[in-house]
Amino acid sequence: MIKHKDHFHGSDLEKIEQIYGIKKEDIISFSANVNPLGISPKLKEGIAANIDCITTYPDRDYLQLRKCIADYCTTESDNIIVGNGSTELISLFIQIQRPAKALILGPTYSEYEREIALGGGKTIYYPLREENDFVLNVNHFISKLSEDIDMLVICNPNNPTGTAINKQDMRKILDACKECDIFVMVDETYVEFAENIDEISSVSLTRTYTNIAILRGTSKFFAAPGLRLGYAICSNTDLMQTMNQRKDPWSINSIAVIAGTLMFSDKEYIHATRDLIAKERNRLYDIFAKSKRFKPFRPQGNFMLLKIVEDGITSGELFDRCIRKGLMIRDCSTFPYLGDNYIRFCFMNPEDNDRLAETLLK
């Protein structure tokens, strides 16, 4: 197991407040990867108008919510399971599969390895290479798969590299994993921010492959991390039945149900989010590509990884410089395979992005 160092998470604003003496309300978090538009007006109004929903239990089968998610994802509601954030579902899938040996594409989110370890499993990493701009070499990767691997975990687009695997390559991976009896868990937390979502998302593959489960949530794209609403898409009926049996009843509260039925159909908000992120992603990539201090890696999600190429500057120093101006970036030295010369930031509103770029480039 790779040893992970402590770090400031995007939600650790209270810690920042204590250490730096900056009020958390005055901090702009470029670390949390949350939609800068905040929750939509339609969602605010809808929750307020339906607040009495908390006086009754939600439908324990969440039929209406699962139908809204299925319509949003263009899949079948029978293939949808909801949970208390995608974190609960990640944990459940791993607990049920109980992989003795899991393979993870890294560097990536540390929670996958933690959950595997809690179940007594061993994790090995397949490293995404900087010389390939962290883009997966699919043929080489497939050649490393073997029957002693029980589970493969892929974050797509990947956090923190921002790179993605297209649907055609994912199909090759699924075919190879099927031969080796490997179950594939794909975390699509950031796929909704991608311009070419239909080319990246693996949802359509769940119709023909039963060895894949896709995880998504509402924390990032819909700017609702406190709602704790996540969902998974999988056509393996036996696995989904086991998931429903193991999952706590009413793990989604009534307010989250109302919110879900509103947010997934809010086309105006969805379009505005994708438009803003696409423009800022391209604009900021161009800004940093011209810099002699950084090398940006072209992102597919709503955040960008930068390598510090100028001597004498570390990720920790840049974190400190930014936070003293109320701008919180991610020091990536805690990720496997990344050192103290990598930082990550998400795309916020244009004026805030300009402040960050000025601070990093001065």
The dihedral region occupied by 288, where left means phi > 0, alpha psi between -120 and 50, and beta the remainder, is alpha
pLDDT score for 20:
83
**Residue 2 located in a structural domain:** no
Question: What's the rounded Cα separation, in Å, for the pair 117 and 115?
Answer: 5
**Residue 8 located in a structural domain:** no
- Based on the structure, what is the number of domains in the chain? 2
Instruction: Output 24 or 173, whichever has higher pLDDT.
Output: 173
Same domain, residue pair 246 and 152: yes
Same domain, residue pair 106 and 247: yes
3-state secondary structure of 31: coil
**Residue 174 located in a structural domain:** yes
Same domain, residue pair 321 and 238: no
pLDDT, one tens digit per residue, over 330-359 is: 999 999 899 999 999 999 999 999 999 999
Which stretch of 1-5, 66-70, 145-149, 288-292 has the lowest confidence by average pLDDT?
1-5
CATH number for the domain that contains residue 214: 3.40.640.10
Nearest residue to 261 (alpha-carbon basis) of 59, 87, 92: 59
**Residue 297 located in a structural domain:** yes
Same domain, residue pair 79 and 32: no
Structural domain that includes position 299: 13-39+268-361
Q: Where are the beta strands (DSSP E) in the chain?
A: 28-29, 80-84, 101-106, 122-127, 151-155, 183-187, 212-217, 229-233, 294-297, 303-308, 327-328, 330-331, 342-346
pTM assigned to the model: 0.94
pLDDT score for 9:
53
What single letter denotes the amino acid at residue 269? Y
Same domain, residue pair 140 and 250: yes
Same domain, residue pair 249 and 348: no
**Cβ pair 213, 247 in contact under 8 A:** no
Residue 174 has pLDDT above 80, yes or no: yes
**Residue 124 located in a structural domain:** yes
Question: What's the rounded Cα separation, in Å, for the pair 322 and 324?
Answer: 5
User: Pairing state of beta strands 294-297 and 303-308?
Assistant: antiparallel
Last residue within a domain, chosen from 239, 266, 293? 266
Question: What's the rounded Cα separation, in Å, for the pair 351 and 8?
Answer: 24
Same domain, residue pair 75 and 24: no
Question: What's the rounded Cα separation, in Å, for the pair 333 and 291?
Answer: 21
**Residue 7 located in a structural domain:** no
What single letter denotes the amino acid at residue 255? I
CATH number for the domain that contains residue 291: 3.90.1150.10
Question: What's the rounded Cα separation, in Å, for the pair 59 and 284?
Answer: 44
Angle, CA of 228, 278 and 354, to the nearest 5°: 95
Same domain, residue pair 292 and 243: no
Same domain, residue pair 345 and 204: no
Same domain, residue pair 127 and 188: yes
